[in-house]
């Protein structure tokens, strides 16, 4: 029997690519998304790859949805061997100009959704000796201007998983995180930034916003930094199948170099100095 992998957030981007790549590698893949009416791109990719996916609804901020999906997967397929936490959303804005409701929403989707899905999966992963693979971001290592909410959530995910990893290992479950840099997927479009409105309402922050967005657009236009969803999915697959997976996987040389600012920055001056240049 092939191992069973559940992947969240598969309607586009990294999640879509990870579901397809895992199925091509021999996994029985349960590809989940909040709204299964948006499964068109996923099914088209699956048909092109000649693979079959089990597409189900899972909303990571709805506890009943999580429980129903995971219980159904185990009932129908007999086990759960890998959980790939990928569902999430981006957000751009600085704290003075965003509401606490927006901050909480980002934490719910990007952090508490991961926690809840992992919690519900662990009894089944313990039974199978399985794995938790979570897509975070270089923004979970290095804080970035105008990304306070997003980076806070990703920092929280990294701390949660880093703390869970040694505990989960005692029950035979391996935990890994995946840290992509810029990825050319629908994730960027789904951030939903109205640039003109943001500048018009930016007040004292407008010059810094303009400088920041110029920097970001340059990174997404740079072939040395930007990756595709398929590129990242290959790293996700490595964490799913390798005999001795590492805890932390950067997905490119650019991501490794970017994260190294933080890893070697004992007093914080290198990171703050680097990101300060983005808003000048």
pLDDT tens-place string over residues 121-156: 999 999 999 999 999 999 999 999 999 999 999 999
Q: Within a domain: residue 218?
A: no
Backbone φ and ψ for 242, nearest 5 degrees, come out as -65, 150
Q: Within a domain: residue 97?
A: yes
Is 205 a residue of the active site?
no
Please provide the average confidence, as pLDDT, over all residues in the chain. 92
| 268 CA to centre of own chain | 25
| Euclidean distance between CA atoms 183 and 254, whole angstroms | 12
Q: Within a domain: residue 98?
A: yes
**Model pLDDT, residue 185:** 62
Average confidence (pLDDT) over 219-225: 82
State the residue range of the domain holding 83: 4-194+227-260
**Model pLDDT, residue 200:** 80
Q: Could you tell me the CATH number of the domain that includes residue 40?
A: 3.40.50.720
Instruction: Quote the strand ranges of 86-225, DSSP E.
Output: 131-135, 174-179
**Model pLDDT, residue 187:** 46
Backbone φ and ψ for 59, nearest 5 degrees, come out as -105, 115
- Reply yes or no on whether the pLDDT at 108 is more than 80: yes
pTM above 0.85, yes or no: yes
**Model pLDDT, residue 272:** 80
- Reply yes or no on whether the pLDDT at 163 is more than 70: yes
């Amino acid at each position: 029997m092939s191992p069973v992998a559940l992947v969240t957030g598969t309607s586009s981007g990294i999640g879509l690519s990870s579901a397809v790549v895992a199925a091509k590698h021999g996994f029985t893949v349960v590809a989940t998304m909040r709204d299964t009416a948006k499964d068109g791109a996923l099914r088209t990719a699956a048909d092109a790859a000649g693979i079959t996916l089990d597409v189900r609804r899972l909303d990571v901020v709805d506890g009943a949805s999580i429980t129903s999906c995971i219980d159904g997967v185990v009932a129908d397929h007999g086990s759960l061997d890998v959980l790939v936490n990928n569902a999430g959303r981006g957000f751009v804005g600085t704290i003075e100009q965003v509401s606490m409701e927006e901050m909480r929403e980002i934490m719910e989707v990007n952090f508490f959704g991961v926690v809840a899905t992992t919690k519900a999966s662990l009894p089944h992963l313990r039974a199978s000796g399985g794995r938790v693979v979570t897509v975070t971001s270089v923004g979970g290592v290095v804080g970035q201007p105008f990304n306070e909410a997003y980076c806070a959530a990703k920092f929280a995910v990294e701390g949660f998983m880093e703390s869970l990893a040694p505990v989960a290992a005692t029950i035979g479950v391996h935990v890994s995180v995946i840290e992509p840099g810029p990825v050319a997927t629908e994730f960027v479009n789904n951030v939903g930034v109205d640039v003109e409105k943001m500048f018009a309402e930016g007040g004292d922050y407008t010059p810094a916003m303009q400088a920041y967005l110029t920097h970001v657009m340059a990174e997404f236009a740079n072939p040395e930094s930007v990756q595709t969803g398929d590129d990242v999915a290959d790293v996700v697959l490595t964490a799913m199948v390798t005999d001795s997976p590492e805890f932390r996987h950067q997905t490119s040389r650019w991501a490794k170099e970017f994260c190294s600012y933080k890893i070697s920055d004992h007093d914080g001056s290198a990171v703050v100095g680097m990101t300060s240049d983005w808003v000048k």
